[in-house]
């Protein structure tokens, strides 16, 4: 059975954000603006996106 996935898009710049928020964005693999990555739909990844809602968005398919 296929595992659920979510698409995460970077919509903001972490230039003036705290180091912890920058680390969250980079740990997801988002280095450039408007990039989309596919990650497993787990509570850990959902929580990471919810920590920085001004920088990341979940893309609906």
Domains and CATH numbers, the chain: 5-59 (3.30.1390.20)
pLDDT at 1 > cutoff 60: no
60, 49 in Cβ contact below 8 A?
Answer: no
pTM reported for the whole predicted model: 0.89
Mean pLDDT of 16-41: 96
Instruction: Provide the H-helix boundaries in 1-61.
Output: 19-27, 43-51
pLDDT at 61 > cutoff 80: no
pLDDT at 48 > cutoff 60: yes
- Give Dmax (Cα) for the chain: 42
pLDDT of residue 46: 95
If you average pLDDT over every residue of the chain, what do you get?
94
pLDDT of residue 3: 86
């Amino acid at each position: 059975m296929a595992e659920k996935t979510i698409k995460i898009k970077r919509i903001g710049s972490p230039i003036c954000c705290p180091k912890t928020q920058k680390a969250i964005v980079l740990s997801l693999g988002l280095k450039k603006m408007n990039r989309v990555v596919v990650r497993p739909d787990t509570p850990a990844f959902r929580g990471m996106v919810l920590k920085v809602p001004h920088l990341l968005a979940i893309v609906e398919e």
